[in-house]
């Protein structure tokens, strides 16, 4: 069985195939087509059929690059400093200036980057 592909056969009448990740899409789709053709319902399921509803959907955005994630994290980390600097009140009223954070590195975003690539 393919990783990420689950078949459940609790009875002889039902086969359930769950698409777990994008890498198994071709095998999942082929299995769907086979099962629907076998049950003579492919004409109702086929997304390429002439009478299929054609929903215009925007392509999902590409996951951000590592550099974009680092830039985003740097902006997030420095926001308190920028807000403090933009505040025009006297220093006594706004309190101590926040510490300037260390710049983000690859290690700070690698888990998020990997997770976004897998989804």
Q: Are 43 and 49 in contact (CB under 8 A)?
A: yes
Q: What is the pLDDT of residue 8?
A: 44
Task: Give the pLDDT band of residue 10 (cuts 50, 70, 90).
Answer: very low
Neighbouring residues of 66: CB distance < 8 A, sequence distance ≥ 6: 106, 109, 110, 113
Residue 110 has pLDDT above 60, yes or no: yes
The DSSP 8-state label assigned to residue 51 in this structure reads T
Q: What is the pLDDT of residue 15?
A: 60
Task: Report the C-alpha gap between 117 and 60 in whole angstroms.
Answer: 13
pTM for the structure as a whole: 0.48
Q: Which residue has the higher pLDDT, 85 or 22?
A: 85
Q: Which residue has the higher pLDDT, 42 or 8?
A: 42
């Amino acid at each position: 069985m393919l990783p990420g592909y689950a078949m459940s056969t609790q009875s002889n009448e039902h086969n359930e195939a769950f698409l777990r990740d994008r890498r198994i899409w071709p095998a999942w789709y082929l299995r769907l087509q086979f099962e629907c053709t076998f049950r003579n319902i492919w004409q109702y399921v086929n997304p390429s059929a002439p009478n299929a509803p054609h929903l215009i959907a925007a392509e999902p955005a590409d996951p951000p690059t590592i550099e974009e994630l680092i830039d985003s994290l740097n902006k997030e980390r420095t926001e308190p400093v920028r807000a403090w600097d933009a505040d025009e009140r006297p220093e006594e009223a706004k309190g101590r200036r926040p510490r300037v954070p260390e710049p983000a590195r690859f290690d700070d975003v690698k888990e998020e980057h990997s997770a976004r690539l897998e989804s």
